[in-house]
Amino acid sequence: MTSTPPAPDGAPPAAVDGPAVSLRIDAATPLEPHATGSAEEQPVLAFRGVHFYYGSFRAVKDVTVDIHRNRITALIGPSGCGKSTLLRTINRMNDLIPHTRLEGQVLFHGENLYAPYVDPVEVRRRVGMVFQKPNPFPKSIYDNVAFGPRVTGMKGNLDDLVEASLRRAALWNEVKDKLKQSGLSLSGGQQQRLCIARAIATEPELILMDEPCSALDPRATLQIEDLMAELTERYTIVIVTHNMQQAARASDYTVFLNMAEDRAGYIVEQDETTRIFTNPANKMTEDYVSGRFG
């Protein structure tokens, strides 16, 4: 993969806070597979004191989290605690809902995603998303995967890109003979892997998954989890899940959110996944991961 240096393009990113400059150099260097996910490394994504509002209702309060490269970070918590909302702040999908507002900073390689000069469309091109229900377009399998590269104006051999994306989503062998068939003709698990292929075809650095297995049967769920593990070779993944076994099995780092008295979601505890599930610091976390509430 080739990366071009920052283009002198539109508004200058001078509005970014101090560390941004050095970090953007970091962003321009090619990704190294199997880079260590150590804490000292600069995070791919960092929430800094994030509050999120629907109108006057605060859905998420005071979130500060680092998301590290090539790791899977799971957001868990009872329903309504704002984990999906938090996930959607990363690719600015919440912008599509009127009367929403974010306070604080979401830093992508140190660059604030909510700076005035940032184009949400550009953000979404670099942050892929997989949704709760498999939602392939009513187009052929090929066109589903090729959609992103086409709209983002990527150059190069589209056939190769589609094949590579489908291979990486572990779907190629099942669909290589029927690329012209509708994406909707696939099974649920296949549809979701198609959606993953579609998301990685634009070569994002970060993939967001919003309860990607909640509509799938156990076998398809395991397939997706295996796939996620493989994907961490190249990508950084943030997953929202209500399934604690899934978080325990599949993620490296876990963020546990709960609802406060005012119904705003906040972080109770975050740590390495093994620690959250074996030796949590907080009693509430222990109760939740052991299934006593939620």
Partner 1 sequence: MTQATRTASGSSLVGRPGRRRSERLAKAVLMAAAGLSIVISVGIVLSVLAESIMFLSQIELSQLSAPGWFPRRGMYDLATLFAGTLMITVIAMLLAGPAGLLAAIWLSEYAGLGTRNRIKPVLEILAGIPSVVLGFFALTWISPNVVKAIFPTASTFNFLAAGIGVGILTIPLVASVSEDAMRAVPRSLREASYGLGARRTTTVLRVVLPASVSGVVAAFILAISRTVGETMVVAVAAGATGGSLFTLNPLGPGQTLTAAMASLATGSDQVTGDSAAYLSLFFLGLLLFLVTLALNVVGDVFVRRTRQRY
Partner 2 sequence: MSVSAVTTSSVQRSLRSGGRDWAGFVFEIVLLLSLLFALVTLFVLLADVLAKGLPVFAERGLDFLTSPLSSRPSQAGVAQGIIGTLIMAVLVPLFAFPVGVLTAVYLEEYAPDNRLTRLITVNIRNLAGVPSVVYGLLGLAVFVAAFAALGFGNGRNILAGALTLAVLVLPLVIITASEAIRAVPSTIREAGFGIGASHWQVVRTLILPSAAPGILTGMVLALSRALGETAPLILAGAVMGSFSTGGSLGEILTGPYTVLPIIVYDWARKPQADFRELTSAAIIVLLAVTLFANAIAILLRNRYVREW
> Using CB under 8 A, which of 8, 12, 33, 98 touches partner 2?
98
Cα gap 294→284, rounded to integer Å: 11
- Residue 32 touching partner 1 (CB under 8 A): no
Q: What does the buried/exposed string (b/e) look like for 194-220 if buried means 16 or more CB atoms within 10 Å of the residue's CB?
A: bbbbbbbbbbbbbbbbbbbbebbeeeb
Q: Decide whether 190 or 285 has the Cβ nearer to partner 2.
A: 190
Query: What does 75 interact with, of partner 2, partner 1, none (CB < 5 to 8 A by kind)?
Result: none
Cα gap 175→241, rounded to integer Å: 28
In the stretch 189-228, what mask flags binding to partner 1 with x, by CB under 8 A? Answer: -------------xx-------------------------
CA dihedral 69, 194, 113, 9 (to 10 degrees): 100
Residue 174 structure tokens = 């099942």
- Residue 158 touching partner 1 (CB under 8 A): yes
- Residue 154 touching partner 1 (CB under 8 A): yes
Residues contributing to the site for partner 1 (CB under 8 A) = 1-7, 9-13, 24, 27-28, 108, 111, 113, 115, 117-119, 121-123, 126, 149, 152-158, 160-161, 164, 202-203
Residues contributing to the site for partner 2 (CB under 8 A) = 91, 93, 96, 98, 121-126, 128-129, 131, 133, 135-138, 147-148, 150-152, 195, 198-199, 202
